[in-house]
A and B are shown apart, each in its own frame.
Chain A
Amino acid sequence: MKCGFCGRHFTPAEAAEKEPCGRCLRGCQKSYCPYCSYGNPMIPGFLDRWVKNKDKKE
């Protein structure tokens, strides 16, 4: 995925490990960019597939 802050690409496996802050009841639900540690929203499955389809078409 592409980081919304620094624009670099990373895979979910590379996302930086972060300890949950404890403020979010259901966990922070973000994948943190390993380069700048921006919290990108974790896109749920159905929306993700939609994005991928779009990307393929492009």
Chain B
Amino acid sequence: MASQNKAPKGDRKVILVGNPNVGKSVLFNALTGAYTVVSNYPGTSVAVARGHCEINGQRYEILDTPGMYSLLPITEEERVAREMLLLEDAHAVIHVLDARNIERMLPMTLQLIEAGLPVILLVNILDEAERSGMSIDIPLLQEKLGIPVVGGAMRSKRGLKEVRQAIAECGDDDLPSFGYSSDLEKDIAKVTDTLTGDYRLDLRALALLLLQKDDEILALVSDREGDNFEQVQQAAAETAFEHRFDLHLRISLERKRVCKGLLAETVRQPENRRLRFADRLSAWTTNPWTGFPLLILVLYFGIYQFVGKFGAGVLVNLCEGSLFENFLNPLAISLIDRFVPWYWLRELVVGEYGIFTLGVRYAVALVLPIVGTFFLTFSVIEDVGYFPRLAMLVDRVFKKIGLNGRAVIPMVLGFGCDTMATMVTRTLETVRERVLVTLLLALAIPCSAQLGVILGLLSGVPGALLVWTVCIVLIFLLVGFLSAQVLPGERPMFYMELPPMRLPQFHNVLVKTMTRMQWYFLEIFPLFIIASVLLWAGKMTGALEWLVRGMTPVMGMLGLPEEASAAFIFGFFRRDFGAAGLYDLQEAGLLTPVQLTVAAVTMTLFVPCIAQFLMMKKERGWKVSLGIFLFVTVLAFSVGWSLNIFLLFTGILS
């Protein structure tokens, strides 16, 4: 057990810990008054406040820590907070939590108790909680937890006296322990049995942290165990390996289960129907049987109806049809015709590939309404808190069928377009792994916005949309399969506490939508302009015609008309640009549903666009990137070719 040295050399230390924004600093000020020192924690840039207070003639040093979410630190601030807990010889550790979020924050109290720390729990902000109709039976909670529990509202100093008293009375009582499920306990015991060193932290807590591969703890244990370390590490590694994916999640779920039990009788929530409905909905979203139908509903209404029918249908017709076709284009063309005598300049501005008639029109009239509605849907879904649940659903289902969902979700949810790049730079050991990852990178579907555009454009032809969706799902499964080959046993990314589901907040959604739209527009606008200038140059020099002629046999193979090659050339700039080109062809009645589908699928698979290709070249060199380019191109066109044959043969869509 922890060697809690209670004989104070100087003042006894009291450490305040808890999530950010729960009132630690308010408590700190209430306890210490004016005499406080703020200084950086040694070796870090994190500021820590220290002050003193006297209770019954005994002086205590109070330490205010930065907020932390769990004993597994991620940020530097969390690291410092934990280091203080591990290294400072605390007389008492006060865990401050926000009564309104007690269910989410109580698991950390368990973690602290588990660590063998002398914990006092302060249930703060009780004033607000009570105002919303919540009531917490503090004495009962104290009884169940087995540690001192104080309820209060530190801003109005309610409960301060009890906190001071609890500090004074904090003694050497044995700490309670909470049992997890028996197989988890067995795993813990396997590791604790091997530990022989002397630690401040409780062995059980240590074992749990070791199982979760905490590097600092590993270093500490290696230091204390000496020769025995190898054995400890082996025991931990074996157990961790058996449960590779879900250990984290399991431990956190176990803690939650314990907390739920603790809170069931002690907390009375107001009879709030919406709240309970949100909880139930949340459970539905992550259960595969209900989760998929829900996902389909979300996609149907959010994407198909709103983005596809409204954005790509109504809004695009308005902008493109009424504004550009009927008004702006004729105006621009007549102005240019009247004042510009040079053919080349007329072509550059309002020609077939004109800056205005192609670049601006595509960007403003075609793409903007679609990404606008798409980002609006995206932001609403994000604000509701659906994404982490979707990630969990996909992760679960993929795991069940032996795939790895980690690579798929990031691609779709805009987890940084660099997720794949990070994977590549990770130390991959075999050539096979490197090739697979680079291939993933090339196959990876770029970002949600580009997919959204293609999706919106296809919505006019429901059958095409469906076939395209099936193809994309197949690609996702392939990516999941490939990444399961490359990254087995990785620490799960989606170990997480789910944030509560809630109704979307209007101004949040608005701000995020506008931010995303602005980003996207600034991103594509110059590109569309540059692309139309290049296409114009190609047309003027005849290079384009040559290129189109070169591509015609390929188009023929896919069953596409010659005109489609232009769209594919657009697509090399960006997929959304290419999709806009397809849309144009479709509007002009040049594509049948089968042709549209084949073209869209091929284009989605095809080309890592210029920027992506250049990056690949930078990281992998010419040879490999050209190889991959060829591979992906061949793959894309073979898929297109087979899809065309398949669709024609089965008669689907015709």
**Chain A: residues with CB nearer than 8 A to chain B?**
4-10, 14, 18-26, 28-30, 32, 34-39, 41-44, 47, 50-51, 54
Question: In whole angstroms, how far apart are the Cα atoms of A21 and B527 in the complex?
Answer: 17
Question: In whole angstroms, how far apart are the Cα atoms of A37 and B75 in the complex?
Answer: 12
* From B413, B493, B499, B511, contact of A7 by CB (8 A): B499
The interface centre, meaning the residue of A8, A10, A32 with most chain B CB atoms within 10 A of its CB, is A8
Question: In whole angstroms, how far apart are the Cα atoms of A39 and B515 in the complex?
Answer: 13
In the assembled complex, 19 residue pairs joining A and B whose CB atoms fall closer than 8 Å, in A order, are A4-B382, A5-B415, A7-B385, A18-B422, A19-B422, A19-B425, A21-B416, A21-B420, A21-B421, A22-B614, A23-B611, A24-B417, A25-B526, A26-B523, A37-B415, A41-B512, A41-B516, A43-B511, A51-B508
Q: Which positions 519-533 of chain B face chain A at CB distance < 8 Å? A: 519, 522-523, 526-527
Find out whether the CB atom of B388 lies under 8 angstroms from the CB atom of A23: no
B615 within 8 A of A: yes
Q: Which positions 604-631 of chain B face chain A at CB distance < 8 Å? A: 609, 611-612, 614-615, 618
CB-defined contacts of A7 to chain B, threshold 8 Å: 385, 388, 499-500
CB-defined contacts of A35 to chain B, threshold 8 Å: 69, 74
A36-B496, A47-B511 known; A6-B388 Cβ under 8 A: yes
CB distance from B251 to the nearest CB of A (A): 17
Find out whether the CB atom of A24 lies under 8 angstroms from the CB atom of B523: yes
* From A20, A22, A42, contact of B612 by CB (8 A): A22
Question: In whole angstroms, how far apart are the Cα atoms of A30 and B422 in the complex?
Answer: 16
CB distance from A38 to the nearest CB of B (A): 6
* Complex: chain A residue closest to B505, CB-CB: A54
Size range of the interface on B? 35 or more
B274 within 8 A of A: no
Find out whether the CB atom of B387 lies under 8 angstroms from the CB atom of A5: yes
B400 within 8 A of A: no
Q: Which 6 A-B pairs have the closest CB atoms?
A: A7-B499, A22-B615, A21-B418, A21-B417, A39-B416, A41-B515
Question: In whole angstroms, how far apart are the Cα atoms of A20 and B20 in the complex?
Answer: 29
CB distance from A45 to the nearest CB of B (A): 11
CB-defined contacts of B338 to chain A, threshold 8 Å: none
CB-defined contacts of B515 to chain A, threshold 8 Å: 41-44, 47
Question: In whole angstroms, how far apart are the Cα atoms of A8 and B518 in the complex?
Answer: 25
CB-defined contacts of B415 to chain A, threshold 8 Å: 5, 37-39
CB-defined contacts of A6 to chain B, threshold 8 Å: 388, 496-497, 499
A5-B387, A44-B518 known; A18-B74 Cβ under 8 A: no
* From B413, B418, B522, contact of A38 by CB (8 A): B413
Find out whether the CB atom of B496 lies under 8 angstroms from the CB atom of A18: no
Excluding A34-B74, A38-B416, 10 further A-B contacts by CB distance (< 8 Å) are A4-B383, A7-B385, A14-B76, A22-B611, A24-B417, A25-B526, A30-B414, A36-B496, A41-B516, A54-B507
* Complex: chain B residue closest to A7, CB-CB: B499
B21 within 8 A of A: yes
* From A10, A14, A30, A54, contact of B416 by CB (8 A): A30
Find out whether the CB atom of B417 lies under 8 angstroms from the CB atom of A28: yes
The interface centre, meaning the residue of B69, B385, B391, B417 with most chain A CB atoms within 10 A of its CB, is B417
CB-defined contacts of A41 to chain B, threshold 8 Å: 512, 515-516, 519
Find out whether the CB atom of B518 lies under 8 angstroms from the CB atom of A4: no
CB-defined contacts of B383 to chain A, threshold 8 Å: 4
* Complex: chain A residue closest to B511, CB-CB: A47
Find out whether the CB atom of A4 lies under 8 angstroms from the CB atom of B387: yes
Question: In whole angstroms, how far apart are the Cα atoms of A26 and B526 in the complex?
Answer: 10
CB-defined contacts of B514 to chain A, threshold 8 Å: 47
The interface centre, meaning the residue of B20, B391, B415, B422 with most chain A CB atoms within 10 A of its CB, is B415
Interface code B369-397, partner A: CB below 8 Å = 1, 0 otherwise? 00000000000001101011001000000
